[in-house]
Amino acid sequence: MAYADIDTHAPRDRNGGTCHGGAGRDTGSGGSVNLHAAPGGVAVIQTGDGTFIIKNIQGIDPEVYGALSKQYGGTESALKSFFKILEQKEDPDSKLREIAASYKQLQAQLQRLLPEDPAVMGLKRDASNALEAADFARVEQLLNQASETDAEAAKQLQGTATKPLLSAATSKAEIGTLKMIQLAYRDAATYFRQAADLVPQGAPLTRADHLNDLGTALTSQHR
């Protein structure tokens, strides 16, 4: 089982860095981190954004935590959710990287805030905040509401419904990515299929992208 307790508010030494149960080097903002800790020990990762103290490392290479903190900038809540998802999973190193990559992808998608409808934009903004708090159920609820709002607008527009339909499809695809974070591949495939079905005929490349994501989810399910 993979498990970690994280403390993001631990005191630093007078040189700005700490390390327990191993050896570490703080190179300051933007620098690299060398980290060594035995499984079951305690390690500290110093990044430009803060100090992550990771305790009770079991079954996962400690360097993976350093990579996550530096590359993905996950909040404490997000990182804790990653470890919870990893419980009882084989090859936790690989799965952890997969989860973090999907998290970063969804984080970027939600921060674009492209919808024209102010109500949809507000829902996306709330979903982005919920993602930062690792409230995945809330993210799913908000994105479904966003998709439904756009789909309803598309019905009213009829012949000029391309933009709201594309927006509705995007929200469904974002939920698909959310499910990839949770390693819920079957659910992810369902949402990517829904996204593809919402795409209007004039956007075949967008539909192809969602179908490609569908294929990735189905392939991941059988790995």
Compute the distance between CA of residue 208 and CA of residue 223 in angstroms, rounded to an integer. Answer: 23
DSSP state of 12: P
3-class DSSP string for 84-151:
HHCCCCCCHHHHHHHHHHHHHHHHHHHHHCCCCCHHHHHHHHHHHHHHHCCCHHHHHHHHHHHHHHHH
The residue ranking higher by pLDDT, 162 or 114, is 162
- Residue 43 pairs in a beta bridge with 54
Give per-residue pLDDT as tens, 181-210: 999 999 999 999 999 999 999 999 999 999
Compute the distance between CA of residue 210 and CA of residue 168 in angstroms, rounded to an integer. Answer: 13
Phi, psi of 138 (to 5 degrees): -70, -40
Compute the distance between CA of residue 121 and CA of residue 21 in angstroms, rounded to an integer. Answer: 46
Contact 105/35 with Cβ under 8 angstroms? Answer: no
Mean pLDDT of 67-80: 62
Give the full edge-to-edge strand order of the sheet including 50-55: 5-7, 50-55, 43-47
Compute the distance between CA of residue 152 and CA of residue 17 in angstroms, rounded to an integer. Answer: 53
Q: Which CATH number fits domain 113-221: 1.25.40.10, 3.30.200.20, 1.10.630.10, 3.40.50.2300?
A: 1.25.40.10
* Position 61 pLDDT exceeds 60: no
What is the pTM assigned to this prediction?
Answer: 0.68
Q: Where are the domains of the chain?
A: 5-89, 113-221
Contact 138/175 with Cβ under 8 angstroms? Answer: no
Give per-residue pLDDT as tens, 127-171: 999 999 999 999 999 999 999 999 999 988 876 689 999 999 999
pLDDT at 112: 84
